[in-house]
A and B are shown apart, each in its own frame.
Chain A
């Protein structure tokens, strides 16, 4: 059963529970640090992963908190949304299309995240994106916001909003394209049932189909991301990628990312 105290203990969080930007920031980061991204339970399902999208907070809580596993975007999003709502945050489900390898954006429902409205401002809340991306919420604003040496901002682009990220000394690059329009979970159910089958799934869509294993989590000053055997560490404004050709090393990194080596 979903339980706020157990959840917070899992995150090692003992601070204030007032719905303030400070609380949101700390919870967001801690969720990303202590609840890893892991698609291994779902990789084989392909597009059917969306079937569980409305399984409910208890179901996600069991897997991610009680059993201490990692999960994919709608599991994280569903779980974290519930926590925020319990604490009195004004939170809603939104979606985004992720930038693909060729700079094109995926379909609008490709990725699930959340938006929180606080003191008249909107914050992007996304604890279930493998990244590399932000680890603390980003204000929906053109103001440049720095995290771990990376800059983030949100800019308008033909009626949609684009989250951009800039490594130190590099150019801005889009992460995903979104709107603040609230989504209904049934829209995703439709994909799983084949009723909303966008004929051209891009990067992330193909990633889902590919069954490539993805693991990720944040740490105090950065983010770890393992896609296949490509291991990325985003820290100090730099994305450092390395290939793990040796199986023993790969396995030990998987354990490290999933915090199973502690």
Chain B
């Protein structure tokens, strides 16, 4: 072959390879476009008090009807609105519907939204926000961890009428109203408040909005545009205009019920709802261990096009959208068992829809396997923009339960449909799901008045292989709870206790892992550290009741650094570490490794001394410094390793005297071998010193003590400065006692320490040369984490820690522990963990450092060691340092966040003179006289308890206004004004407002003397309503 031929063959080969590659890519693309999308979470608010999918199933199972009278707290004139005459202008001929009677309720503080802004927000935005949080929790996702993720939000919304009836927008709401009612903000708010960065889209296709949103979300996931998607819809009717409008069209059922596909169908019944699904690509959901409730097999959206009327349904278009969805799902009609229909109960629409279903699903299936047809609207009415996704929730529940729920109000199938044209049957009764040799499937329809049709096919979740049972090693996982407020925290505890009792099959460790890994960590925290179900449950009940227990650690997360403080001599005790060795392999292994290094350099194995029977000669060896120092070193290093295995690492370390060697080892200055050599040499050489000397602790300031040392420096030193009035003298016994005697004479307390030697004194000098020789033979590295030096009381720098000379100085010099603590505080340390067998250093922290700091000992003398460690870890966790916990391999459902609701609803009738007060009030009665009466006059008629609430609401509102709107989320009756950034000026402004509204003459220090809304309310109550007794 010549070279040309070769080139041609090469080119051909390359082109074939390229073809293969393209084919593979094409196939991969096609696959990804059809990749099943998993439904991993569902949440809803529906008529009939339905607050969860479980509630919905109960309602379906009981065949309940959720239709009620019109809401009376929205400023609707319910009586005047009703007129049975369909032609009566401005009236509705029905006075029933399906309502979210608590649609105005919202936990504004949870989302950091000021009361004023909450009031201006469309309740649809608020419902969507809370439900979004909830659906993430239900899927076991930490909403906090989704910040910045490619999570999409697809919201179906069709009403924009909140606040539209107001003739006069209150001044305080100007500037909020635009965002308050914009439909785009329903999705936008969720993305904003949860920090989600995928597509954020509000869809308005009228009554198909939420199903179209679901379709778009699935497309977006398959296209790789997002990794997780919230899809659903919300409908709240802030005004009754849609009832009036459809009354004129005679489209409403007079009794407000949807009699879907029934002979008795007489129009639709409007209702409200919020329904939300959380979607994820199936492969991702499996990998992440998220619960797969069902799978979206395929979906389609089309339009009626130029049909026989803008708002009229169109059968052929409905058939087309069904066929498109089946094609997308790669299914034949006979492979679907149930259609959850649009089924609104209108005389025109239902027959058209039924015919389309018969023409598609009803053909080519045998009589034994009919297509079952039903509609949720028969129970809850037509939830409009929320209806499609609500139908999906119902279908998913039905797939899971293996039951075809009943459709209510079917006297007999509508005669306007030729039911014989295909095998379709109406679900007049609930039925068990027919046995099929494939996954169960259901399809859901929704049609918008705009002509936009949507159809979605879902499928039972594929079976999962049983997950590996978790290892028993961490069977003592604590229960962690957090919330935005202390009251919500208590409620969470109550929920957990109830839930854990109702689910004895869930083991406590599984619950612990789920609590730690599938819930967002919020500022108010509690850790239940009991061992075993009973203790944990007791803890939860204790917390719920607002009581305290050593097994319940509570606190508030703060920023700041964590320091480890390694204890020095005096804290040792016989048997220390024995229990930790037995219970925690991480401790035992580290301890063994340290002992191996130490024992090679000690006259007898350290463990023999530590484990000796109390009272024996061997036991007494522990108080000989040659063993004390290595024993502390071994215990502290092993303890630090145990903490590291729980994911707790310090930002900075310090030690007291010999403790600094453990700190230096942890910081990477000395290898284990070299650290062991240093500590044993130090201990052994000190032991060999002949003059024992004395050490005395003195309650006096350093300067005063120093003055007395003058002329005795060769005999006595200040061994340590542990606090503002905590100094330790050390040296020749006679001299030390003489000086401390003088101190006692002028009123200072002194205490002689039980020590074998006068450490950090001139008496150490004979050992320094030999110690330096040993120290010179060691290798020092720069510390990997900052270490505070005893010698300087500052962060180690230069020659500190890394030279033999430093460690020699360290033996002789004053332990500047007080300065060390101040340095740590200045470095931003707010949490101190004492790593040692006692709590000596913890007490010193309390003595030296004030303000928002916490110090805890890892092990307490008076407690079981492992319980101590649990308590210490819990204390760190509530401060914001969470130990690492492995997720549970299976999804463990947990109660969702107990939102703390307040009602926010803009009334049509605003009292102009007192708008501030009117805003926080319940609906202002529209008696004309009311408008001219003052806030105080109106309050005077209320019972005292209600009055107090009103006053608190007023004060919180004024405070929120004074502060601007971003810092009010924390406000409740116990919040200190000055804890939230109040200045003297804002305090005076609020005082001025209070005087203006209440007609009081309070002085400018009002908020200084009554520093919380609750205290101020009590003060005002007394000023305004307490009758003088004389």
Asked, given contacts A101-B983, A101-B985, A240-B851, whether A227 binds B976 with beta carbons under 8 Å apart, the answer is no
CB<8 Å pairs between A and B, sample of 23: A101-B987, A101-B1004, A102-B985, A102-B988, A206-B1004, A207-B1004, A210-B1003, A212-B1003, A227-B1008, A228-B1005, A228-B1007, A228-B1009, A228-B1010, A228-B1011, A229-B1009, A229-B1011, A230-B976, A233-B851, A240-B851, A242-B978, A242-B979, A243-B977, A245-B976
Kindly report which residue of chain A lies nearest to residue B724, judged by CB atoms.
A220
Asked, given contacts A101-B983, A101-B987, whether A227 binds B1005 with beta carbons under 8 Å apart, the answer is yes
Confirm or deny: B1012 has a beta carbon within 8 angstroms of a beta carbon on chain A. yes
Confirm or deny: B755 has a beta carbon within 8 angstroms of a beta carbon on chain A. no
CA of A63 to CA of B1012 in the docked complex: distance in angstroms?
34
The 5 lowest CB-CB distance pairs between A and B, nearest first, are A243-B976, A228-B1008, A210-B1003, A212-B1005, A101-B984
Chain A residues engaging chain B, CB cutoff 8 angstroms: 100-103, 203, 206-207, 209-212, 220, 227-230, 233, 236, 240-245
Identify the interface centre among B851, B983, B1011: most chain A CB within 10 Å of its CB: B1011
Contacts of B1014 in A (CB 8 A): 245
The reply to whether B1004 and A242 form a contact with Cβ atoms under 8 Å apart is: no
The reply to whether B1004 and A230 form a contact with Cβ atoms under 8 Å apart is: no
CA of A240 to CA of B988 in the docked complex: distance in angstroms?
19
Contacts of B985 in A (CB 8 A): 101-103
Contacts of A244 in B (CB 8 A): 976, 1011
Contacts of B851 in A (CB 8 A): 233, 240
Q: Would you list which residues of chain B between 976 and 1030 have a CB under 8 Å from chain A? A: 976-979, 983-985, 987-988, 1003-1005, 1007-1012, 1014-1015
CA of A212 to CA of B991 in the docked complex: distance in angstroms?
14
Choose among B974, B976, B1003 the residue that contacts A206 (Cβ–Cβ < 8 A): B1003
CA of A242 to CA of B290 in the docked complex: distance in angstroms?
44
Q: How far is the CB of B1006 from chain A (nearest CB, A)?
A: 8
Kindly report which residue of chain A lies nearest to residue B982, judged by CB atoms.
A241
Contacts of A230 in B (CB 8 A): 976, 978, 1007-1008, 1011
The reply to whether A245 and B1003 form a contact with Cβ atoms under 8 Å apart is: no
Contacts of B984 in A (CB 8 A): 100-101, 203
Kindly report which residue of chain B lies nearest to residue A236, judged by CB atoms.
B826
Q: Beyond the given A101-B984, A211-B1003, could you list 4 further A-B residue pairs with CB under 8 A, ordered by the A residue number?
A: A101-B983, A206-B1004, A228-B1010, A230-B978
Contacts of B1009 in A (CB 8 A): 210, 212, 228-229
The reply to whether A209 and B1008 form a contact with Cβ atoms under 8 Å apart is: no
CA of A212 to CA of B1008 in the docked complex: distance in angstroms?
8
Asked, given contacts A212-B1009, A228-B1008, A229-B1008, whether A242 binds B976 with beta carbons under 8 Å apart, the answer is yes
Contacts of A212 in B (CB 8 A): 1003, 1005, 1008-1009
Contacts of B974 in A (CB 8 A): 245
Contacts of A103 in B (CB 8 A): 985
Contacts of A207 in B (CB 8 A): 1004-1005
CA of A206 to CA of B984 in the docked complex: distance in angstroms?
13
Identify the interface centre among A206, A211, A233, A241: most chain B CB within 10 Å of its CB: A241
Q: How far is the CB of B658 from chain A (nearest CB, A)?
A: 30
CA of A237 to CA of B1011 in the docked complex: distance in angstroms?
24
Contacts of B1008 in A (CB 8 A): 212, 227-230
The reply to whether B1011 and A101 form a contact with Cβ atoms under 8 Å apart is: no
CA of A103 to CA of B984 in the docked complex: distance in angstroms?
10
The reply to whether A243 and B1004 form a contact with Cβ atoms under 8 Å apart is: no
Kindly report which residue of chain A lies nearest to residue B826, judged by CB atoms.
A236
Contacts of A101 in B (CB 8 A): 983-985, 987-988, 1004
Contacts of A100 in B (CB 8 A): 984
Identify the interface centre among B724, B977, B978: most chain A CB within 10 Å of its CB: B978
Kindly report which residue of chain A lies nearest to residue B979, judged by CB atoms.
A243
Choose among A210, A220, A233, A245 the residue that contacts B1011 (Cβ–Cβ < 8 A): A245
Kindly report which residue of chain A lies nearest to residue B981, judged by CB atoms.
A241
Q: How far is the CB of B634 from chain A (nearest CB, A)?
A: 38
CA of A241 to CA of B983 in the docked complex: distance in angstroms?
10
Kindly report which residue of chain B lies nearest to residue A241, judged by CB atoms.
B978
Q: Would you list which residues of chain B between 259 and 293 have a CB under 8 Å from chain A? A: none
Asked, given contacts A230-B978, A242-B978, A244-B1011, whether A210 binds B988 with beta carbons under 8 Å apart, the answer is no
Q: How far is the CB of B723 from chain A (nearest CB, A)?
A: 13
Q: How far is the CB of B779 from chain A (nearest CB, A)?
A: 39
The reply to whether A243 and B1005 form a contact with Cβ atoms under 8 Å apart is: no
Q: How far is the CB of A210 from chain B (nearest CB, A)?
A: 4
Kindly report which residue of chain A lies nearest to residue B725, judged by CB atoms.
A262
Q: How far is the CB of B743 from chain A (nearest CB, A)?
A: 15
The reply to whether A206 and B1005 form a contact with Cβ atoms under 8 Å apart is: yes
CA of A209 to CA of B987 in the docked complex: distance in angstroms?
17
Choose among B724, B1004, B1007, B1015 the residue that contacts A245 (Cβ–Cβ < 8 A): B1015
Kindly report which residue of chain A lies nearest to residue B1009, judged by CB atoms.
A228
Contacts of B988 in A (CB 8 A): 101-102
Q: How far is the CB of B275 from chain A (nearest CB, A)?
A: 43
Q: How far is the CB of B335 from chain A (nearest CB, A)?
A: 66
Contacts of B1005 in A (CB 8 A): 206-207, 210, 212, 227-228
CA of A224 to CA of B824 in the docked complex: distance in angstroms?
22
* Binary contact readout B962-986 vs A (1 if CB under 8 angstroms, 0 otherwise): 0000000000001011110001110
Contacts of B976 in A (CB 8 A): 230, 242-245
CA of A211 to CA of B1008 in the docked complex: distance in angstroms?
11
Identify the interface centre among B979, B1008, B1009: most chain A CB within 10 Å of its CB: B1008
Contacts of B1015 in A (CB 8 A): 245
Kindly report which residue of chain A lies nearest to residue B822, judged by CB atoms.
A221
CA of A101 to CA of B984 in the docked complex: distance in angstroms?
5
CA of A245 to CA of B1004 in the docked complex: distance in angstroms?
18
Q: How far is the CB of A136 from chain B (nearest CB, A)?
A: 18
Contacts of B1011 in A (CB 8 A): 228-230, 243-245
Contacts of A240 in B (CB 8 A): 851
Contacts of A233 in B (CB 8 A): 851
Contacts of B983 in A (CB 8 A): 101
Contacts of A102 in B (CB 8 A): 985, 988
Contacts of B826 in A (CB 8 A): 236
Contacts of A209 in B (CB 8 A): 1003
CA of A243 to CA of B1010 in the docked complex: distance in angstroms?
9
CA of A103 to CA of B978 in the docked complex: distance in angstroms?
19
Q: How far is the CB of A131 from chain B (nearest CB, A)?
A: 13
Q: How far is the CB of B825 from chain A (nearest CB, A)?
A: 9
Q: How far is the CB of B157 from chain A (nearest CB, A)?
A: 42
Q: How far is the CB of B1011 from chain A (nearest CB, A)?
A: 4
The reply to whether A243 and B978 form a contact with Cβ atoms under 8 Å apart is: yes
Q: How far is the CB of A236 from chain B (nearest CB, A)?
A: 7
CA of A212 to CA of B1002 in the docked complex: distance in angstroms?
12
CA of A241 to CA of B1007 in the docked complex: distance in angstroms?
13
Kindly report which residue of chain B lies nearest to residue A99, judged by CB atoms.
B984
Kindly report which residue of chain A lies nearest to residue B984, judged by CB atoms.
A101
Q: Would you list which residues of chain B between 820 and 877 have a CB under 8 Å from chain A? A: 826, 851
The reply to whether B977 and A210 form a contact with Cβ atoms under 8 Å apart is: no
CA of A203 to CA of B1015 in the docked complex: distance in angstroms?
23
CA of A227 to CA of B1007 in the docked complex: distance in angstroms?
10
